[in-house]
Amino acid sequence: MNRPAVRRIGVLTGGGDAPGLNAVIRAVVKTAVREYGMTVLGFENGFGGLIKNQVRELTENDVVGILPRGGTILGTTNRDNPFHYPVVKGNEKIFVDVSDRIFENVSIHGIEALVVIGGDGSLSIGKELYDKGLKVVGVPKTIDNDLSATDQTFGFDTALTTATEAIDKLHTTAESHHRVMVLEVMGRYAGWIALASGLAGGADVILIPEIPYNIDIVAEKINARSQERKKFSIIVVAEGAKPIGGEMVVNKRVEDSFDPVRLGGIGNVIAQQIESLTGKETRVTVLGHLQRGGSPTAYDRILATRYGTGAVNLLAEGKFGRMVCLKGQNIEDVPLEQAIGELHNVPVHGELVKVARQLGICLGD
Ligand code: F6P
């Protein structure tokens, strides 16, 4: 057994859940305990558990059977930012910095370092805690695949598979009824899920935030298909898609959240416009949180496991303030600030977009 730089570590899952979180937790616990003889404590419900001291030890027995399970055994939330924590004063809700509570709780439990499994919001908080003196390593999670310091986040492959299955199912009913089917998928400000599932499912139109669309061009595509005796069409639209010169459709705001904006509703907007422009019966499916649920794919299980083991290896080597990442085929690591810098958007002149265009898929421009 190697001598690790730290012996007692914490782990938490923050932000929206993604398939593969349990696979990371399992790999963290197994690697920490078996390889390094560490003790692992799991904080419940993201940073909320760190603030409120909701913690339990995670032994190898606690992670038996969780590899194929969706969700997270620790719970999560996309609220509870310790640097911007809501408290009610009188009739007013104000935001205060409660990060000192985290340092108290960490010291009560003798925790020397923390694994933060999260997207840009949770990793930004992890970076702030690191700057304040906590030894942190990050693991990149999100179905949106929008973190720039890694080639892929875990959770994306499962969401993509779910969206692809949905397109396959929509195809058969669209064909039978000679309808236009609009599928709205998640992805926030990035079009990865829409573009990749649209390609995998054989969509006719794919609309992504990175390429603002002209609805007349989309309608022309649908009409052109009708003239080619293709009486149905499939449109995949990312929740963040927007018309040229227009705005994204916001469904609601969650003020306590790291990013308060919740997108959603563009599918209905597109469907109404397409129905009136083409006269073709159009239906909408909003795939929503189905994309975040269920058992992770084999790819996500393996990636999540490699990330979990990689994160513990970093802690054991004393490499803090870093995030594990995928570069090509290899697990590497980068400073946390790189992980939370710019979002990783679909390159508009990249190969995937080019392939879509060469197949005749309409991207709305
Ligand atoms: O970031 C993951 C994600 O699922 C986005 O694709 C989506 O916009 C958002 O989270 C939904 O958040 P909530 O869980 O608050 O509905």
Q: Distance (Å, rounded) from C-alpha 117 to C-alpha 122?
A: 8
Q: Residue 151: which pLDDT band, with cuts at 50, 70 and 90?
A: very high
In sequence order, what are the beta bridge partners of 331? 326
Nearest-atom index, ligand 1, CA of 264: 8
Are 65 and 38 in contact, with CB atoms under 8 Å apart?
A: no
For residue 272, give the 3-state DSSP assignment: helix
- Which atom of ligand 1 approaches the CA of 291 most closely? 4
**Largest Cα–Cα distance in the chain?**
71
Ligand 1 within 6 A of 145 CB? no
Q: Is the shortest distance between the CB of 141 and ligand 1 below 6 Å?
A: no
Q: Is 100 a catalytic residue?
A: no
78 lines ligand 1 (CB under 6 A): yes
In 3D space, the residue among 21, 14, 13 whose CA is nearest the CA of residue 292 turns out to be: 21
Q: What is the pLDDT of residue 256?
A: 86
Cβ 304 vs Cβ 23: under 8 Å = yes
**Mean pLDDT across 56-64:** 98
**Ligand 1 centre from 227 Cα, in Å?**
38
Distance (Å, whole) CA 235 – CA 261: 24
pLDDT of 2 over the 80 cut = no
Residue-level pLDDT at 123: 97
pLDDT of residue 52: 97
Q: What is the pLDDT of residue 73?
A: 98
In tens, the pLDDT along 247-280 reads 999 999 998 898 999 999 999 999 999 999 999 9
What would the pLDDT profile of 305-360 be if each residue is shown by its tens digit?
999 999 999 999 999 999 999 999 999 999 999 989 889 999 999 999 999 999 99
Taking the CA atoms of 51, 54, 55 and 61 in sequence, report the sign of the dihedral they define: negative
* Whether the CB of 353 sits within 6 Å of ligand 1: no
Ligand 1 mean position, distance from CA 188 (Å): 7
Nearest to 324, CA basis, from 312, 360, 344, 316: 312
H-assigned helices in 45-179: 47-52, 99-108, 120-131, 156-177
Q: How far is CA 7 from CA 110, 231, 269, 316, in A?
A: 9, 64, 54, 8
* Cβ(186) – ligand 1 distance below 6 Å: yes
Task: Pick the catalytic residue from 144, 146, 157, 333.
Answer: 144
Residue type, 6: V
Q: What phi, psi does 174 have (nearest 5°)?
A: -60, -45
Average the pLDDT over 9-35 and give the result: 98
Chain center to CA of 334: 19
Task: State the pLDDT at residue 17.
Answer: 98
Q: Go through 41-70 and write b for each residue having 16 or more CB atoms within 10 A of its CB, e for each that does not.
A: bbbbbbbbbbbeeebeebeeebbeebbebb
pLDDT at 1: 55
Give the percent of the chain with pLDDT over 90.
96
User: What mean pLDDT value characterizes the chain?
Assistant: 97
Q: How far is the CA of 245 from the centre of ligand 1 (A)?
A: 25
Please state, in angstroms and rounded to a whole number, the distance separating the CA atoms of residues 116 and 123: 7
For 194-207, the pLDDT digits (tens) are: 999 999 999 999 99
Encode pLDDT of 284-298 as tens digits: 999 999 999 999 999
